[in-house]
């Protein structure tokens, strides 16, 4: 009687083929790279002292919050992108004691992506390398995604300051969509408007 011995390990339902391990490792490295990049940006934002305040328009509450915030940062210029009408915005800041020379009102933006694309060159021309970004807390994720792409492409660091609301955060799809629009702007120079 001959006994045949198989030198290979027996396969069980718990063993994984080598290819599967390679795929896991190939998937792990991009995730690790993203995690390291995000960590680096967080540390950099924590260490850098902002040189300006950028306010995303769209709600009067953001401008009032920004004016109060600016009082405790008296040396920083304030850039408001597509906020309240000019006379009203000037009145909001004046009422809180902010000198009008510090406030730059820009009405070129049509949406969140163009809030950043219309300001980035002007901020860079002023040698601004870091900003406080003021917007509503439910809008902050999308604003940060776009800002990291657009401002980050010019070396401008963002330090977020959220205006508290009682609303739920925006759907993740909006951040993904507008992040893609920001990448398109980065590669083509055009900020495609959303429909």
Q: What is the pTM of this model?
A: 0.78
Under CATH, which number does the domain 32-188 receive?
A: 3.40.50.1980
Question: Which of 155, 161, 151 has its CA nearest to residue 117?
Answer: 151
pLDDT tens sequence for the chain (195 residues): 555 555 565 555 555 555 677 776 677 777 777 677 667 666 766 678 999 999 999 899 999 999 999 999 999 999 999 999 999 999 999 999 999 999 999 999 999 999 999 999 999 999 999 999 999 999 999 999 999 999 999 999 999 999 999 999 999 999 999 999 999 999 998 877 664
Q: How buried is 191 (Cβ within 10 angstroms: 0-12 exposed, 13-18 middle, 19+ buried)?
A: buried
Give the SS3 label for residue 92.
Answer: helix
Instruction: Read off the tokens for 129.
Output: 């390398």
- On whether the CB atoms of residues 50 and 78 are closer than 8 A, the answer is no
- On whether the CB atoms of residues 106 and 80 are closer than 8 A, the answer is yes
Parse the chain into domains and list their residue ranges: 32-188
Secondary element (H or E) of residue 183: helix 172-188
DSSP, residue by residue, 111-124? SHHHHHHTTHHHHH
């Amino acid at each position: 009687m001959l006994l045949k011995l198989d030198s290979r390990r027996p396969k069980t339902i718990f063993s994984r083929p080598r290819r599967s391990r390679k795929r896991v490792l190939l998937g792990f490295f991009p995730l690790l790279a993203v995690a390291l990049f995000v960590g680096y940006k967080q540390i950099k934002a924590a260490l850098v002292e902002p040189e300006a305040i950028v306010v995303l328009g769209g709600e009067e509450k953001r401008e009032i919050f920004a004016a109060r915030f600016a009082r405790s940062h008296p040396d920083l210029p304030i850039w408001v992108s597509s906020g309240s009408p000019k006379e009203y915005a000037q009145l909001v800041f004046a009422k809180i004691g902010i000198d009008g020379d510090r406030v730059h009102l820009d009405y070129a933006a049509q949406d969140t992506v163009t809030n950043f694309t219309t300001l980035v060159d002007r901020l860079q021309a002023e040698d601004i390398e870091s900003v406080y970004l003021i917007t509503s807390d439910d809008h902050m994720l999308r604003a940060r995604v776009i800002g990291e792409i657009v401002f980050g492409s010019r070396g401008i660091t963002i330090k977020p300051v959220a205006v508290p609301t009682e609303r739920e955060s925006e759907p993740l799809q909006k951040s993904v969509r507008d992040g893609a629009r920001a990448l398109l702007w980065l590669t083509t120079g055009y900020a495609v408007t959303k429909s």
